Amino acid sequence: MKKFRINPQTLAIERVEHGFMYWLRRSGLYILSGMCLGIVFFFVYFMLFPSPREKQLIRQNEELESQVRLIDKRVDQMQVVMTDLEQRDDNLYRVLFGAEPIPLAVRQGATRKMSYYDELARMTNSQLLADLMLKTDVLEKEMYTQAKSYDEVLELAKTQEIRMENIPAIQPVLNKDLKRVASGYGWRIDPIYHTRKFHQGMDFTAPIGTEVYATGNGRISFVGWRQGYGQTVMVDHGFGYETLYAHLYKPLCRVGQRVKRADIIALVGNTGKSTGPHLHYEVHYHGKAVDPRNFYFYDLTPDEYDMMVQLSNNFGHMLD
């Protein structure tokens, strides 16, 4: 591009001649502004239109998020099942076997400090993931406690089985039609002194020599003569239970011997303070005599039990 100017002295029009530096500066300026414009366009373009790689990343990100949401939903469902298990454990199994329910604090345990999850939320820039981690942690702890509780319940069930074998649960003499029940537990008139007296056990009439059974598994704790009771045998069943068999003709066991339910331990007699051949039977729980009629549950149907209750309330035939 040619340029001209007027020379003020000669007033002639002269051609302006530019040096090399002028042209360098000038072209440099053009290039620089062009580059600036290019950079601006470049950034605007990439801000508005993602690149194929970015598109791929965005898609992956969306997929991951929906997967995390799916897992989150499944963890929620697992939590519902877990709660059901815990409730069943506390309300049924643990109560059934006489164990205290597990407090909620123990079940969920000391979870991590909330700041841990806050940090996680910042790190992954996703509250969702932090929530998920918190839920899984709680669930994990609950599952651990639950498994331990089941171990405990299993142990209790085993103990319960032994307990059921040990506690008195049959009649001490064969008594199919219940005709042998003479007198039950409670206040009675003494057959000899005709005064009011508390009868600590149940009397079964039976001929001398009738077999007497241990009413539950246990260990013979006493064999010998007791004042008023005559020849007596006692069985320690554990779990706080003891049974006593009195007025015997003859004991057929020795102290320390282990016996099973329905083992023959003695023969019916008429020894001690007794007005006729019969077996006097007592059930003790933690050292105190309790009503034996509640300890025949392996022997009696509900109807027979009702009959037993009626018969044991019979006042007339206490044989002491």
- Where does this chain touch Zn ion (CB under 5 A) — which range of 144-152, 263-271, 273-281, 296-304? 273-281
Q: Is 263 in the site for Zn ion (CB under 5 A)?
A: no
- Where does this chain touch Zn ion (CB under 5 A) — which range of 12-20, 22-30, 43-51, 274-282? 274-282
Q: Which is nearer to Zn ion, 134 or 212 (CB)?
A: 212
Contact, 90 vs 100, CB < 8 A? no
- Where does this chain touch Zn ion (CB under 5 A) — which range of 4-12, 39-47, 184-192, 197-205? 197-205
Q: Which is nearer to Zn ion, 280 or 293 (CB)?
A: 280
Q: Which residue is nearest to Zn ion (CB)?
A: 280
Residues numbered 95-114 forming contacts with Zn ion, rule: CB under 5 A: none
Q: Which is nearer to Zn ion, 138 or 168 (CB)?
A: 168
Supply the DSSP string of the chain, one letter for each residue.
---EEE-TTT--EEE----HHHHHHHHHHHHHHHHHHHHHHHHHHHHHS--HHHHHHHHHHHHHHHHHHHHHHHHHHHHHHHHHHHHHIIIIIHHHTT-PPPPHHHHH--PPPHHHHHHHHHHHT-HHHHHHHHHHHHHHHHHHHHHHHHHHHHHHHHHHHHHHHHS--S-SS--TTSTTEEE-SEEEE-TTT-SEEEE-SEEEE--TT-EEE-SSSEEEEEEEEETTTEEEEEEEEETTEEEEEEEEEEE---TT-EE-TT-EEEEEB--SS-SSSEEEEEEEETTEEE-GGGG-TTT--HHHHHHHHHHHT--TT---
Q: Is 280 in the site for Zn ion (CB under 5 A)?
A: yes
- Where does this chain touch Zn ion (CB under 5 A) — which range of 56-64, 134-142, 146-154, 201-209? 201-209
Q: Is 293 in the site for Zn ion (CB under 5 A)?
A: no
Q: Which is nearer to Zn ion, 117 or 272 (CB)?
A: 272
Q: Is 180 in the site for Zn ion (CB under 5 A)?
A: no
Q: Is 188 in the site for Zn ion (CB under 5 A)?
A: no
Q: Is 282 in the site for Zn ion (CB under 5 A)?
A: no
- Where does this chain touch Zn ion (CB under 5 A) — which range of 60-68, 184-192, 280-288, 294-302? 280-288
**The only residue of 90, 142, 203, 242 in contact with Zn ion, by rule CB under 5 A:** 203
- Compute CA distances 32 → 19, 24, 29, 35, 142, whole Å: 20, 12, 5, 5, 67
Q: Which is nearer to Zn ion, 219 or 317 (CB)?
A: 317
Q: Which is nearer to Zn ion, 166 or 205 (CB)?
A: 205
Q: How far is the CB of 90 from Zn ion (least distance, A)?
A: 44
Q: Which is nearer to Zn ion, 238 or 276 (CB)?
A: 276
Contacts with Zn ion, residue ranges (CB under 5 A): 203, 280
